[in-house]
Structure 1
């Protein structure tokens, strides 16, 4: 039996250096409208460093630059935060919000690239992935920021929150399309439950509190654990200046959701929320994988099944059900439909605790109930599939899915470009080395980074 940490082996083996490669080999034809950068973040500790939890590994961003049918470059860079050089998060003066792994996500908003980790403030990067420094929105962000902010496709506003195991437990923020924080409020009634992601509909903000909550006795350095005493709840807050005064909390069945697929108001005014969730045993298997303890699953998302909640604000009730038996994570969609009713969703499938399922890119048709899986091949693991609309798109799934695949047999990685409609492979971009399996990322068109274009 191996004693190596699972998040330092196989698909998750860290990359040991920073490189830049140009003129990448392309199989097939890259659509010329894919002109921009695919950026992907993940935990990648430096050589010789063995973190006590997967989430404590330093962040490394991988970038692939496409332009008019060519793959111009690949580069990878650690996010150079104080934590990369060993600075502690807790100091004698309290937490250092700049001592971040910055390894969970990377987004673009208002022309800035922000590397995110939910316990800290963001770190800004250049278009070439060099670290600029901590970004606290000109001092208006005084706590941590979620790694899963939501950009409203109608207003361009960035909605996000900060969660803490100590009061105030939950702060809500809105930054305008220019990147200035224009609203902040404490959300009453929140607890120390872990809040990793949330949802924004056209009229509401939706928070999920599961059974994973603050546990100061947890030895891994990530102070959270499952508690049957922690109630699982959904909080619904109207959008707008005084929305926090009207937040309502609804009890739900035990479980924990890391990532939201989407939420919207349906034709009856009910709020529909969906996302992969785990039960107590699923969380135990996942947590043991994350810390490298015995009794873990083969993957960090064993028993992660998509759940749907339907919240009737008038009746004060919540209906919920598991809607698929495939173990999935990293749900995505055409973000033009974020907060509105969407037909199509995408995810990555993983082998469950019994080995069923395997790796693949999944497409759900929420209207017909159909599920399609693009199998990527033996010993090949895809990462989060990012949707990019096609030029002149007329349909919701008229576009492309971009995913970075880790290939253990070839000790290599490729960028796989799929037709999101037909689900066929369009192109493969060969990368100069294997990219370790990571977390989240974004497609950033050139037009969004005009000031930093190189």
Structure 2
């Protein structure tokens, strides 16, 4: 494919086929508790297809199966939605929620693997990454679902939302640990602002509306753009059946946050929220890269800096500040601390708009303010670093970070397993192809899947 679209070149050059490889080469020693699958989703249009926006590319899930210190297989599969075969999202009857790119995230809940894209229904996959079909929670999900649901580590509930540029702008859902929706509500006061991610605490749901909102004049296929007149706000809603009617909205500084690191209630009862954000120029640079516009930045995320908001519910005030000057994205943490105060969080670093810095895996110690970086190396782009707790962990950072690295110079990829406490490399799994740089993924332990994991499909079957 000959193209000047940055999201189809370099690290983002799409894979052209689906393959399966077994008995992968491992350097170092894989911890035995890493028994499961690392799954990672991303946009990967079929050969000959040039989407008008990076986010429009069809989803492809890459999987790496680890067991008993071995890397048993790698496989990649397109998510076979109607959109993969060219079905349009907008029809004469309105949007087709099954015509999904399904390329943003892949999660597990209640034994189901779900490929997600925020404008559509989720798509269920088998443990071998074959597509089952659209999943609507037994008909209780009638609109879109965010690509960033949150699993409460205490209750096992899945919290998620659906947003729309048209009323109702925001719907909130809770699915029980058994996978059935137990609660849904329209959230009042929401606007047409882009809502890509959100957060939960022990007692609240936290929504974020930035300065990016619905723009019908945007013709890239993703109808959103920066609008100086769009108020940036944080919405704090009590959890529970009557919470929607009690939501409070707080104005914040203009900006846009795609991904929340975490939120929690501090000792004073304030809501603390963190995540990387961009200003107007940062959004312009990233958007131009995403659509391949003239004057695009050399990288997305070049002005994306970690920010902290402290919402004082009693005083009705929000204090906020940028807490680091390193360009980062894709924040992660030990998800056993999701919704609670955490000490450590992780991210991926990028060169900034001045060309300073580079690719790496970042660890923040929020207690000391320390920042450590595992530098990925020249022309090596790591993906989102997924935290996996160690067996018998006693500290928050007892565990491993799993990241898939795209190596342009060698035209290869590896799965790196890092010690989450010191960022030292523990093991490298050599993959059979260079994996297209993507977006989000999950570690799925075998115990979370209701399937015959010892079937022949875990071997050499394609």
* TM tier, smaller: over 0.9
**Which residue of the partner structure matches residue 261 of structure 1?**
261
Q: Distance in 1 between matches of 2:171 and 2:307?
A: 26
Q: Are residue 130 (structure 1) and residue 121 (structure 2) matched?
A: no
**Which residue of the partner structure matches residue 360 of structure 2?**
360
Tell me the CA shift for residue 3 of structure 1. 6.4
Structure 2 unaligned blocks of 5 or more: 456-462
Q: Distance in 1 between matches of 2:147 and 2:323?
A: 26
Q: Distance in 2 between matches of 1:81 and 1:87?
A: 9
Per-residue displacement from partner, 1:215-267 (whole Å, max 9, x unpaired)? 01101010000000100000000000100010000000000000000000000
Q: Distance in 2 between matches of 1:357 and 1:205?
A: 35
- Which runs of structure 2 are paired with 1:207-286 in the superposition (5 Å)? 207-286=207-286
Tell me the CA shift for residue 68 of structure 1. 0.8
Give the 3 Å change call, closer, same or farther, for CA 3–109 of structure 1 in structure 2.
closer
Q: Distance in 2 between matches of 1:396 and 1:421?
A: 9
Structure 1 unaligned blocks of 5 or more: none
Per-residue displacement from partner, 1:79-133 (whole Å, max 9, x unpaired)? 0000000000000000000000000000000000000000000000000000000
Q: Distance in 1 between matches of 2:301 and 2:46?
A: 25
SS at match of 1:185: strand
Give the 3 Å change call, closer, same or farther, for CA 148–452 of structure 1 in structure 2.
farther
Q: Distance in 2 between matches of 1:255 and 1:110?
A: 35
TM-score by length of 1: 0.99
**Which residue of the partner structure matches residue 349 of structure 2?**
349
Indicate if the aligned counterparts of 1:261 and 1:275 stay in contact, CA closer than 8 A. Answer: yes
Q: Give the length in aligned residue pairs.
A: 453
SS at match of 2:282: helix
Indicate if the aligned counterparts of 1:127 and 1:452 stay in contact, CA closer than 8 A. Answer: no
Tell me the CA shift for residue 452 of structure 1. 4.8
**Which residue of the partner structure matches residue 147 of structure 2?**
147
**Which residue of the partner structure matches residue 459 of structure 2?**
none
Q: Are residue 71 (structure 1) and residue 68 (structure 2) matched?
A: no
Indicate if the aligned counterparts of 2:3 and 2:9 stay in contact, CA closer than 8 A. Answer: no
**Which residue of the partner structure matches residue 92 of structure 1?**
92
SS at match of 2:286: helix
**Which residue of the partner structure matches residue 26 of structure 1?**
26
Indicate if the aligned counterparts of 1:126 and 1:452 stay in contact, CA closer than 8 A. Answer: no
Tell me the CA shift for residue 423 of structure 1. 1.2
**Which residue of the partner structure matches residue 294 of structure 1?**
294
SS at match of 2:40: strand
Q: Distance in 2 between matches of 1:371 and 1:431?
A: 30
Per-residue displacement from partner, 1:30-69 (whole Å, max 9, x unpaired)? 0011000000000000000000000000000000000010
TM-score by length of 2: 0.97
Q: Distance in 2 between matches of 1:110 and 1:343?
A: 28
Indicate if the aligned counterparts of 1:330 and 1:347 stay in contact, CA closer than 8 A. Answer: yes
**Which residue of the partner structure matches residue 436 of structure 2?**
436
How much is the aligned-residue C-alpha RMSD, in angstroms?
Answer: 0.7
Tell me the CA shift for residue 451 of structure 1. 2.3
- Which runs of structure 2 are paired with 1:149-164 in the superposition (5 Å)? 149-164=149-164
**Which residue of the partner structure matches residue 325 of structure 1?**
325
